[in-house]
């Protein structure tokens, strides 16, 4: 019996083989990946903004160098991901347009403000920590270019989390005021970090298909649970408290149960009503528009060089 | 005019003695600009000592749909592999 293209495709996935750009794939698989990878790329780009806010005010040269390197990495992550998405046939400018017109989503965490230096510590520790938790399984995603981009990204992320934790540690070992600042940052970033894993499994209808396609390897709730279990001892080490009265260790499973996430807040921010949605988008659009003359000048130069080359050839062969 | 700058495929040699290896792609105005961008995007941590770039549209690729007909003929040529030849265990260094 002749297998249908869909069946052959699914068999390949079930054998844990990778799909490459020119291989046949169902339209829905392609669409899902374009959406996920471009959203991921947008998140890396927008993710530079809350931290970029603190580069000029970093408390020491050491901190400034680390933060600049981290923010530059995030730009790189965006670029790896955009090029992975392009292998699926979507143009870079189409993706930029979708981001700039508000049609495309990015991680809602970046719509919160960075009020103090401790926020830079909390972001590295928690936000990059949650990103790593999400991204490590994506290194085994069935789509080759996405998986390979994630391998590069994950290699670079661990420095991000460590620099954040070191900032937190320094503040927590500092003056009472500094420690209070670290606690305040944890209070504000904890819940949004848990939201980074997305809606509860019951509210996440696409998870099943994504798992059947080996795009996703774990559910939102599974990853969130791991993140909580990993973070609780780290907060203890810092000597600050996770702002959740319901947080409790289940002796039997060794896992922490935790309080209900404020999903109303989550959906508000996703829908564009977070504290910084408008600022972030405006900053992103401005950066793109301010850079237009550079791209145009580079293109004009390239065309001129090309023309010069053609002229020389014409003279030689005349 | 297309708003996208041309797309280039990037190949990096991580150290002498190894092949250049495909690492991804990026947009640039020309090949020189692609090399500069590749330096920033793909070698921030000493991942390479040499960069090749080629415009993506200049790459010709084999068709995955032809894979069976294209590569299957090599499948039954086991005699191209050393294990095809039976030798007694006593023969050493071979
Ligand atoms: Fe990143
Ligand atoms: Fe990061």
Q: Does the pLDDT value for residue B2 go beyond 60? A: no
Asked if A65 has any chain B CB less than 8 Å from its own CB, the reply is: no
pLDDT band, very low/low/confident/very high, at A1 (cuts 50, 70, 90): low
Relative to beta strand B20-27, strand B7-13 is antiparallel
CB A134 within 8 A of CB A154: no
Residue of A nearest to B63 (CA): A22
pLDDT (average), residues A199-211: 94
- What is the rounded average pLDDT for all residues in chain A? 96
CB A13 within 8 A of CB A210: no
CB A54 within 8 A of CB A121: no
Spatial separation of the C-alpha atoms in residues A233 and A240, rounded to whole Å? 10
pLDDT (average), residues B46-70: 93
pLDDT band, very low/low/confident/very high, at B75 (cuts 50, 70, 90): confident
Q: Does the pLDDT value for residue B17 go beyond 60? A: yes
Q: What percent of chain A has pLDDT over 90?
A: 96
Check residue A318 and give its pLDDT. 73
- Best mutation target, A72, A85, A152, A299, to test chain B (most B CBs within 10 A): A299
A87, A91, A302 ranked by CB distance to B29: nearest: A302
Contacts of A277 (CB under 8 A, 6+ apart): A111, A269
pLDDT (average), residues A270-282: 95
Name the minimum distance, in Å, from the CA of B27 to any CA of chain A.
9
Asked if A74 has any chain B CB less than 8 Å from its own CB, the reply is: no
Residue A72 Cα to ligand 2 middle (Å): 10
pLDDT (average), residues A20-36: 97
Check residue B4 and give its pLDDT. 85
* pLDDT tens by residue, A68-121: 999 999 999 999 999 999 999 999 999 999 999 999 999 999 999 999 999 999
Q: How far is CA A208 from the centre of its chain?
A: 22
Residue A1 Cα to ligand 1 middle (Å): 46
Reference A70, options A172, A190, A175, A167; nearest CA is A167
Extended strands (E) in B1-94: 7-13, 20-27, 50-55
Residue A69 Cα to ligand 1 middle (Å): 12
Question: Which residues from chain A sit within 8 angstroms of residue B4, using beta carbons?
Answer: 91-93
Spatial separation of the C-alpha atoms in residues A44 and A189, rounded to whole Å? 18
pLDDT band, very low/low/confident/very high, at A14 (cuts 50, 70, 90): very high
Name the minimum distance, in Å, from the CA of A310 to any CA of chain B.
15
Ligand nearest to the CA of A51: 2
- What is the rounded average pLDDT for all residues in chain B? 93
Q: Does the pLDDT value for residue B67 go beyond 90? A: no
Whether B4 and A83 lie within 8 Å, measured CB to CB: no
* pLDDT tens by residue, A209-227: 999 999 999 999 999 999 9
Residue count of chain A: 318
pLDDT (average), residues A202-211: 94
Q: How many residue pairs from chains A and B have C-beta atoms closer than 8 A?
A: 52
pLDDT band, very low/low/confident/very high, at B22 (cuts 50, 70, 90): very high
For B63, counting Cβ atoms within 10 Å of its Cβ (0-12 exposed, 13-18 middle, 19+ buried), the class is: exposed
- To 5 degrees, how large is the angle CA B57–CA B59–CA B62? 125
- Best mutation target, A298, A302, A307, to test chain B (most B CBs within 10 A): A302
pLDDT (average), residues B69-82: 89
B7, B33, B44 ranked by CB distance to A76: nearest: B44
* pLDDT tens by residue, A243-271: 999 999 999 999 999 999 999 999 999 99
pLDDT (average), residues A219-237: 98
SS3 A141: coil
The interface predicted TM-score (ipTM) is 0.90
CA distances, A81 to each of A50, A90, A213 (Å)? 20, 12, 19
pLDDT band, very low/low/confident/very high, at B1 (cuts 50, 70, 90): very low
Q: Does the pLDDT value for residue A294 go beyond 70? A: yes
pLDDT (average), residues B51-78: 91
């Amino acid at each position: 019996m002749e297998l249908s293209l869909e069946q052959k495709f699914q068999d390949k996935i079930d054998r844990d083989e990778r799909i490459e750009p020119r291989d046949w794939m169902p339209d829905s698989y392609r669409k899902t990946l374009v959406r996920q990878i471009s959203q991921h790329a947008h998140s890396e780009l927008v993710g530079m903004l809350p931290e970029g806010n603190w580069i000029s005010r970093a408390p020491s040269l050491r901190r400034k160098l680390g933060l600049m390197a981290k923010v530059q990495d995030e730009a790189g992550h965006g670029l790896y991901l955009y090029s992975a998405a392009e292998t699926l046939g979507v143009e870079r400018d189409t993706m930029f347009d979708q981001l700039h017109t508000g049609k495309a989503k990015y991680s809602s965490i970046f719509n919160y403000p960075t009020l103090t230096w401790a926020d830079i510590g909390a972001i590295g520790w928690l936000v990059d920590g949650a990103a790593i938790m999400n991204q490590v399984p994506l290194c085994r995603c069935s789509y080759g270019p996405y998986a390979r981009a994630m391998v590069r990204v994950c290699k670079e992320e661990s420095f991000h989390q460590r620099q954040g934790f070191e900032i937190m540690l320094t503040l927590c070992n500092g003056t009472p005021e500094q420690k209070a600042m670290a606690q305040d940052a944890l209070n504000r970033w904890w819940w949004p970090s848990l939201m980074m894993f997305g809606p509860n499994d019951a509210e996440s209808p696409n998870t099943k298909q994504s798992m059947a396609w080996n795009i996703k390897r774990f559910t939102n709730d599974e990853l969130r649970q791991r993140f909580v279990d990993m973070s609780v001892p780290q907060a203890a080490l810092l000597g600050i408290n996770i702002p959740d009265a319901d947080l409790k260790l289940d002796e039997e499973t060794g896992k922490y149960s935790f309080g209900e996430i404020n999903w109303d807040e989550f959906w508000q921010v996703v829908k564009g009503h977070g504290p910084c949605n408008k600022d972030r988008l405006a900053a992103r659009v401005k950066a793109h528009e301010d850079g237009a003359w550079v791209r145009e000048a580079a293109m004009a130069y390239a065309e001129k060089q090309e023309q010069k080359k053609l002229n020389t050839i014409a003279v030689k062969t005349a | 005019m297309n708003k996208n700058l041309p797309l280039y495929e990037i190949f990096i040699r991580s150290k002498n003695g190894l092949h250049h290896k495909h690492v991804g792609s990026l947009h640039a105005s020309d090949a020189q600009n692609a090399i500069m961008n590749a330096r920033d995007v793909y070698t921030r941590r000493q991942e390479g000592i040499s960069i090749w770039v080629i415009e993506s549209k200049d790459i010709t690729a084999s068709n995955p749909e032809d894979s069976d007909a294209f590569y299957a003929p090599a499948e039954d040529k086991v005699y191209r592999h050393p294990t095809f030849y039976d030798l007694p265990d006593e023969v050493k260094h071979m």
